[in-house]
Amino acid sequence: MRRILALFFSALLLWSLIAITNHYLAPWHVYLFVGGLFVTFAALQLPVRTGLYASLLAGLLCDAGAGTRFGLHAVLFGLAHGFVFNLRGRLDRDSTVVQVVVALLANIALFVGLSFTQTGALPAPGATWLRLLWDLLWSQLAIVLLAPWFFAVQRRALVLADPLTAFLERRETE
């Protein structure tokens, strides 16, 4: 339970920073979406149940401030978590570069999934795709810049939540 809470509070930190950034980017009509960051670390580093709970809570956190149906982010984050978790055996999970690439791909999938669910209700859905692609480009750039920092925050939060396990893992590697 402590691991889930540690990841939830680190997700709360990221969510707050992105909300503030989106507020200041609003005059330029730019919106950052970094959903891939909420899912990647939990899917690559934690057991399936713990990581899934952390991803679902992060999805509910994103749902709280979004103008979508409540639970949509949570469902998409859960699906993305399951997909990344199933691929993690083929990946170098400890490499920061691999984690960033996985976050970028997960973010694209989540962004497209959210866009398809939301643009159908618009009077001219085709007219919004250029703006959505522009937002996706800026979001991907933000992920490249934020991912190493955020993964380090999550790793440190897990160490603070469970110091004995972190000590034993460090001792095994020495």
Average pLDDT over residues 14-24: 96
Higher pLDDT, 165 or 98: 98
Is position 167 within any domain? Answer: no
Higher pLDDT, 95 or 67: 95
pLDDT score, position 169? 58
Q: Which of 15-19, 37-41, 61-65, 109-113 has the lowest mean pLDDT?
A: 61-65
Is position 164 within any domain? Answer: no
Is position 172 within any domain? Answer: no
3-state secondary structure 100-149: HHHHHHHHHHHHHHHHHHHHCCCCCHHHHHHHHHHHHHHHHHHHHHHHHH
Residue 50 belongs to what domain range? Answer: 2-155
Higher pLDDT, 137 or 129: 137
Is position 77 within any domain? Answer: yes
Distance CA 120, CA 64 (A): 21
Is position 46 within any domain? Answer: yes
| pLDDT over 80 (residue 174) | no
| pLDDT over 90 (residue 137) | yes
pLDDT score, position 42? 94
Q: Which residues, 6+ apart, have CB-to-CB distance to 107 below 8 Å?
A: 33, 34, 35, 36, 37, 139, 140, 143
pLDDT score, position 166? 58
pTM of the model: 0.88
The number of domains in the chain is 1
Is position 162 within any domain? Answer: no
Model confidence pLDDT, tens digit, residues 88-105: 999 998 899 999 999 999
Model confidence pLDDT, tens digit, residues 110-127: 999 998 888 777 777 677
Is position 58 within any domain? Answer: yes
Is position 15 within any domain? Answer: yes
| pLDDT over 70 (residue 170) | no
DSSP 80: H
- Give the N- to C-terminal CA distance of the chain in Å, as an integer: 28
